[in-house]
Structure 1
Amino acid sequence: MIKVEDYYNMIITFKKNMKTELPVISISIFLFLTLWIFFGKYNMILPPFLTLYFKVKYQQEFRIRELIKNYLMILTIAFMSFLAGESLIFCILINLAVPFFIVYFLTNKFTPKSYFVYGMAFVFMQLMPISSSLLPMRIGALLYSFIVLTVALFFSSKYLKKEKKYDKLREKILLLSQQIRKLALGESIEDEKLEVIKSISNLNQQIYFTRNSRYLATEYGKTLYLFMIFFQRVNYYMEECVEREKKLDKQFFLSLSDLLEKIGKNIKIDSNRDLVMEIEKFQRDNRERIEEEGERLESILNLLKIALLGINLKDHNRNER
């Protein structure tokens, strides 16, 4: 029988997923309807891969130069798909050449989705071949779609994602709090451990997405890197605590769990000096106990302070080129 708490968690999860996916769904429906009305049935094949492109870019920083390069590549692929429909020989040769073309121009992209969007665009535009008289209409439909996507990505980066930048980070810190609490109470932490490992992998991917042509990572990426190192060190520390034969200080670890829970619930996008002061207070109040744990715990807490001070949305939204 499903408990009331389970229903509540299901509702919370549904609302969270809707907030994340609603912009993507809205763009998909808008493009489908407007392309159908203004550009005809032959261009109704465009929204699927354009929506996927939006979903990928929606998770990244807004960079107009990169968008223009991507749009030019999609236009090139559109022309290739048109030529592939002109004759059987063209179809064979172009279908052999285009995958290499995509790989060549995406050699610095190490995520499968980056390749998949363009491959999907090439295949889909071949599914509904057009005559030469309809090619200008296809190009016009793509240019219109690019304008819609650019406007949507711009406003999502400026207004919709301000508070969302650190939503997942908050969840990860709360997960650490739960893990430490379970450890203090003598419960298994295997599930939380696996989730933390996944979180580290996800953070690495987010850091990669903050790259641009001049910097290895933006200010946002550098802050995420600090948090990634923090999660790694906590994970190693938890493994060490589990392997210990001596009994853990239950009250100390419960206090540490409460501290992380407070941080997870109160991270702000402008200044977190109040949370840094909370960490320093915890260090003062538990100085002897922290020293007993060795330098590892002290360095973990200091790293968390640096990461919290690095959160500054104004810096993260700068146009770094």
Structure 2
Amino acid sequence: MGTHGKTSSVAAAVQTARGRVADALPAILVYIVLFLGITALFGSSYTMVVSGAVCIFLGRKRRRNTPATSLIIGLVMLALSVLAWLASLNLALCIILNLLVPFVLVLAQSNQFVPKGYFGYAMIFVFLELKPLTIDEFLIQTASVVFAAIVLGVALVAYSALQRRRERDEDVFTRSLSTLADLLDRMAAGERGQELRDAFLSLERTFDNLSITNHHFLRTWDRREFIFQMYAELFQRAVYLLADDEWQDDLARRVDPDILHELALLVRQANAAKTPEELRSIARMAQMALGVVDVPESRVRVFFHSFLHALALILQIQAEPLRKPTSRRIPWNEVVDDAFRRMNRDEFEFRFACRLSLVTTLTCSISMVWGYEHVYWLPLNAILLLMPSYEESAHRMRTRPVGTVIGGALATFVSHYLPGTASVFAVSLTLISILYCCTPGSWVQAMLATMFALLMTSLTMNATTAAWLRILFVGLAVGIVLVINRFVVPSPRERIFEGNLRELTQLIREYWATVGRGARGATSLRAAGEQLARFHLMYASASKYVREMEDGHERQQLRAGLSTLWHMFSEVEQVEHLVLAEDLSQADLDALVRVATILETRPHPTSSHELLCELAHSMESESLSFALLHYLDHASMYEQQVIGYAEA
């Protein structure tokens, strides 16, 4: 490598380091304030809540945080503190609460898109139960948790305010609409290919993630989240068009490409609109274009109409004045339905919740019964080793022992040269600051965590003895987690992928149920938007697994099957749009109800294929018949792909 190459590599490494430090700095500051504050006010023995609080900050810092959400987080932390104290009273309570609390935390806070939502809360519960307390000590610990909750709440609200100042929702919309207009112009110019499709997909997933991650399971969906869903739907319709080469032929032979330029112009006008009156004016222009612009029957016509309808609806919603919610009641029906859906052996959350509960129960019980010095390091390390992803957990079971051994040796050496408590605190806080800049789960992070723990322990016991104890308990934790990961409802990536395929098929069934309700006059835009977001995020997860497989026949089969599922869902979405936007005849609506009733039971039925084709051909709406027939073709194709995969 030449001098220029070395200089470029060094510059890139420096730039990466700066980025990591800048990203970790808020968490570092929160840790230092909490650690020093609790130590000064209550004593260093009450700092066990700090790591969990910082993990909650890391998990939530990019989400929308208000004083109300911070208050809820603080109340949950207090509740976990009480439950942790109860779990420390006797073995029976330890077993019962460790079976229940981590399980509930996973179901309530985690999903495939936010898999570690449980982590900070679980750390608080487990860490706080590791030290038995008298009632007086418990009251001091409660005060320390209140202090931690206040600092965490202030940090979350302040960080959210800073992020909104840097990039508000309006900035996201403005940038995305500008990109959308440019992409429409590129389509009009005849550009095709994966790069264009990926650009639309990136826009769609941005808003899918905003919709999913900003929603809390104990709160009803608000207008803001609904707008995220509608934008995702707008971008998805362009992706669907690009996935079919027929649209290029339509532009070349039957459709004037200028209509896509007109769409781009309308998007730019919507992007420039600032007032509710301007937004309503652009929405009326979109509605007028639907009735005035005559586009020949084609893929492009379906896209043109569905795009304008969605854009007009978004602009109308954005033009409405913000209203304060009249009720903040928890949507218990949705909460209960979601809980029952997750309480399924095939669900990712249920399987991981079982393993986590078993790990915490076993290790915390051992810690309580054994009572050996620093045996609490066993459950502490176990929950850090057990991750929702089987592969990440296996990786940590390799890196953590290595980091522990190296960290133990270095801590033993360094402790001899630290003159007093102040120097130990200074070095320890420096190590923890570097830790938050490192890759989670790496051996370097494990090394730094070990050095921090052992240097703090060296204030009360021999550093060499502490190092050997640390290595012993990490080894035991690895053994326990290894066994439970292997034999208790294991979730390797293959199993998660199979579950994703079932979930994708189930979402198609649910969307047909939504179509059936819409054809009967009971439309729910929110339900359709939520299904759209869930499908595409689940699809992205499944696609990532297939992309990382070794190239071969199986990979090609799975890619083809996933692509077919994507087309099936997109065609159902087109049907739902036609129900909302087109003036369908009663005969078409009645026939569609029959179709939806069959397909919501089995989305790719072989036995009913001829009947469904007859119903599709009988439709008066050419667009509706077009979408249904394409769906049925893809459904038959998927049936054959599934059979081929099963035989393979």
Q: Same fold (TM over 0.5)?
A: yes
Where in structure 2 are the equivalents of 1:162-201 lying within 5 Å? 164-183=168-187, 184-188=190-194, 189-199=196-206, 201=208
Out of 68, 77, 84, the residue aligned to residue 74 of structure 1 is 77
Match of 1:245 in 2: 249
Provide the C-alpha distance between the structure 2 equivalents of 1:202 and 1:99, rounded to a whole number of angstroms: 31
Out of 132, 146, 151, the residue aligned to residue 149 of structure 2 is 146
Task: Please tell me whether the aligned partners of residues 82 and 130 of structure 1 are also in contact (alpha carbons under 8 angstroms).
Answer: yes
Task: Please tell me whether the aligned partners of residues 180 and 253 of structure 1 are also in contact (alpha carbons under 8 angstroms).
Answer: yes
How many residue pairs align between the two structures?
302
1:97 corresponds to 2:101 = no
Match of 2:38 in 1: 35
CA deviation vs aligned residue, 1:5-48 (integer Å, no higher than 9, x gap): xx9xxx9xx99x96x87765654443344233333322333233
1:54 corresponds to 2:61 = no
Match of 1:231, as an amino acid? F
Task: Please tell me whether the aligned partners of residues 74 and 149 of structure 2 are also in contact (alpha carbons under 8 angstroms).
Answer: yes
Higher relative contact order (CA 8 A, sep 6+): 1
Secondary structure of 1:185's match? coil
Out of 285, 292, 304, the residue aligned to residue 297 of structure 1 is 304
**Gap regions ≥5 residues in structure 2:** 6-10, 329-648
Task: Please tell me whether the aligned partners of residues 197 and 243 of structure 2 are also in contact (alpha carbons under 8 angstroms).
Answer: no
Identical amino acids, percent of aligned pairs:
18
Match of 2:377 in 1: none
Shift of 1:143: 0.7
Provide the C-alpha distance between the structure 2 equivalents of 1:124 and 1:300, rounded to a whole number of angstroms: 52
Q: Aligned-residue CA RMSD in angstroms?
A: 4.7
Q: 1:39 to 1:175 in 2, by over 3 A?
A: farther
Q: 1:251 to 1:319 in 2, by over 3 A?
A: same
Shift of 1:139: 1.0
Secondary structure of 1:294's match? helix
Provide the C-alpha distance between the structure 2 equivalents of 1:238 and 1:28, rounded to a whole number of angstroms: 48
Match of 2:148, as an amino acid? S
CA deviation vs aligned residue, 1:64-114 (integer Å, no higher than 9, x gap): 3x6555434322322443455566x36xx5256334234347755553344
Where in structure 2 are the equivalents of 1:143-292 lying within 5 Å? 143-154=146-157, 161=164, 164-183=168-187, 184-188=190-194, 189-199=196-206, 201-206=208-213, 208-209=215-216, 212-213=218-219, 216-240=220-244, 244-248=248-252, 252-254=259-261, 256-257=263-264, 259-260=266-267, 263=270, 266=272, 271=276, 273=278, 277=282, 280=285, 288=293
Provide the C-alpha distance between the structure 2 equivalents of 1:152 and 1:316, rounded to a whole number of angstroms: 27
Provide the C-alpha distance between the structure 1 equivalents of 2:321 and 2:27, rounded to a whole number of angstroms: 25
Range moving further from structure 2, 97-106 or 150-159? 150-159
Secondary structure of 1:217's match? coil
Provide the C-alpha distance between the structure 2 equivalents of 1:275 and 1:28, rounded to a whole number of angstroms: 48
Task: Please tell me whether the aligned partners of residues 49 and 120 of structure 1 are also in contact (alpha carbons under 8 angstroms).
Answer: yes
Task: Please tell me whether the aligned partners of residues 105 and 122 of structure 2 are also in contact (alpha carbons under 8 angstroms).
Answer: no
CA deviation vs aligned residue, 1:251-297 (integer Å, no higher than 9, x gap): 55455446546655x576x647259539938976xx64756742541
Task: Please tell me whether the aligned partners of residues 283 and 290 of structure 1 are also in contact (alpha carbons under 8 angstroms).
Answer: no
Out of 123, 126, 129, the residue aligned to residue 123 of structure 1 is 126
Secondary structure of 2:221's match? coil
Match of 1:205, as an amino acid? I
TM-score normalized by the length of structure 1: 0.68
Q: 1:79 to 1:206 in 2, by over 3 A?
A: closer
Match of 2:191, as an amino acid? L
Match of 1:305, as an amino acid? A
Task: Please tell me whether the aligned partners of residues 272 and 308 of structure 1 are also in contact (alpha carbons under 8 angstroms).
Answer: no
Q: 1:105 to 1:113 in 2, by over 3 A?
A: closer
Secondary structure of 1:208's match? coil
Q: 1:200 to 1:158 in 2, by over 3 A?
A: closer
CA deviation vs aligned residue, 1:216-237 (integer Å, no higher than 9, x gap): 3112223223223323323323
Q: 1:45 to 1:289 in 2, by over 3 A?
A: farther
Shift of 1:142: 0.9
Provide the C-alpha distance between the structure 1 equivalents of 2:315 and 2:31, rounded to a whole number of angstroms: 36
Task: Please tell me whether the aligned partners of residues 105 and 121 of structure 2 are also in contact (alpha carbons under 8 angstroms).
Answer: no
Shift of 1:201: 3.4
Q: 1:263 to 1:117 in 2, by over 3 A?
A: farther
Larger Rg belongs to = 2
Shift of 1:316: 6.8
Range moving further from structure 2, 164-173 or 41-50? 164-173
Provide the C-alpha distance between the structure 2 equivalents of 1:267 and 1:32, rounded to a whole number of angstroms: 48
Provide the C-alpha distance between the structure 2 equivalents of 1:273 and 1:50, rounded to a whole number of angstroms: 45
Q: 1:165 to 1:259 in 2, by over 3 A?
A: same
Q: 1:152 to 1:181 in 2, by over 3 A?
A: same
Provide the C-alpha distance between the structure 2 equivalents of 1:154 and 1:47, rounded to a whole number of angstroms: 18
Match of 1:307 in 2: 314
Provide the C-alpha distance between the structure 2 equivalents of 1:316 and 1:24, rounded to a whole number of angstroms: 34
TM-score normalized by the length of structure 2: 0.38
Provide the C-alpha distance between the structure 2 equivalents of 1:187 and 1:244, rounded to a whole number of angstroms: 11
Shift of 1:205: 0.5
Provide the C-alpha distance between the structure 1 equivalents of 2:82 and 2:304, rounded to a whole number of angstroms: 58
